């Protein structure tokens, strides 16, 4: 479950760009009557609002190995 602080805080430049792209693509899709593009706009809006990406909110981090020589 997403916390309220995740929606209001932790805004980065890329997150704002995703949100703006979502609004831009949605307005262009409606204006040009290309409603399939609304799916792409919904994806950008979802990523921008909830701060998720293709790897999730934590990014593509790899756990550290405990192996020692």
Chain segment 2-52, per-residue pLDDT in tens: 556 667 788 889 999 999 999 999 999 999 999 999 999 999 999 999 888
3-state secondary structure of 52: coil
pLDDT band at 57 (very low <50, low <70, confident <90, very high): low
Structure tokens at 47: 């990523």
Q: Is 33 part of any domain?
A: yes
Q: What CA–CA distance (Å, rounded) separates 48 from 26?
A: 14
Q: Is 61 part of any domain?
A: no
Q: Is 45 part of any domain?
A: yes
Q: Is 6 part of any domain?
A: no
Q: Is 40 part of any domain?
A: yes
Q: What CA–CA distance (Å, rounded) separates 6 from 58?
A: 12
Structure confidence at residue 9 (pLDDT): 80
Domain interval for residue 45 = 18-53
Q: How many domains does the chain have?
A: 1
Q: Is 31 part of any domain?
A: yes
Quick check: pTM over 0.75? no
Q: Is 37 part of any domain?
A: yes
């Amino acid at each position: 479950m997403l916390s309220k602080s995740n929606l209001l805080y932790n805004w980065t430049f890329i997150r704002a760009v995703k949100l703006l792209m979502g609004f831009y693509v949605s307005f262009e899709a409606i204006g040009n009557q290309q409603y399939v593009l609304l799916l792409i706009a919904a994806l950008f809006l979802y990523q921008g609002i909830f701060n998720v990406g293709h790897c999730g909110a934590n990014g593509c981090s790899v756990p550290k190995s405990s192996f020692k020589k």
